[in-house]
Chain A
Amino acid sequence: NAGVTQTPKFQVLKTGQSMTLQCAQDMNHNSMYWYRQDPGMGLRLIYYSASEGTTDKGEVPNGYNVSRLNKREFSLRLESAAPSQTSVYFCASGGRDRGNGETQYFGPGTRLLVL
């Protein structure tokens, strides 16, 4: 099992360009998440999807859109990139442990630089 995979690993964009970050999981999890991680700050939730066909805003959704294409895939789109979106982006999926709630499994991250 590959777990959670993300593409690309690294991307440089110019201000105003668009791009889509891809995420896929092979653990049959219902929940999937997109986070951003910035220096000196904790992981912040951008969007999440509790199940196939549903998406909800997190703490910092402005400037982003998401698509839960199917149970495996959850993509994050930047329609018009801004320098403030320079960050490391992590995708995660959530699996429910017996009696103990959900554990999240993280992808390797995408480093995005917006010039």
Chain B
Amino acid sequence: KNEVEQSPQNLTAQEGEFITINCSYSVGISALHWLQQHPGGGIVSLFMLSSGKKKHGRLIATINIQEKHSSLHITASHPRDSAVYICAVRPGGSEKLVFGKGTKLTVNP
């Protein structure tokens, strides 16, 4: 069983829709990361969370440590948001990240 599970695996939306991507994990963690992988392959870090909620532009990330669950929300989605979104956790006491398999988001105009 993967330590980090993401849902859905694939998501297609119309421009303007509100998007939610979910991440569940099974171990105690010190931090959770959300990353974006562009169609060209580049990976960038969007958020690092250890509690609560963070917002950057149209992106919002939340985490519930007790439930071992995080969500990434995109408001007013746009075709340029089309990418693979990856959840990764840092198990407590570890320097290493454990990655989910990613959620492929396609936003149609």
Contact = CB atoms under 8 A, between A and B. Distances in A.
B41 interface: yes
Contacts, number: 56
B100 A42 contact: yes
A58 B94 CA distance: 12
Nearest to A106: B43
B50 interface: yes
Interface residues of A, number: 24
Nearest to A41: B101
A101 B50 contact: yes
B96 interface: yes
Interface residues of B, number: 24
Interface of A is mostly: strand
Interface string A92-109: 001001001111111011
A45 B44 CA distance: 17
Given A41-B101, A90-B43, 8 more contacts: A42-B4, A42-B88, A43-B88, A50-B95, A103-B45, A104-B45, A104-B97, A106-B45
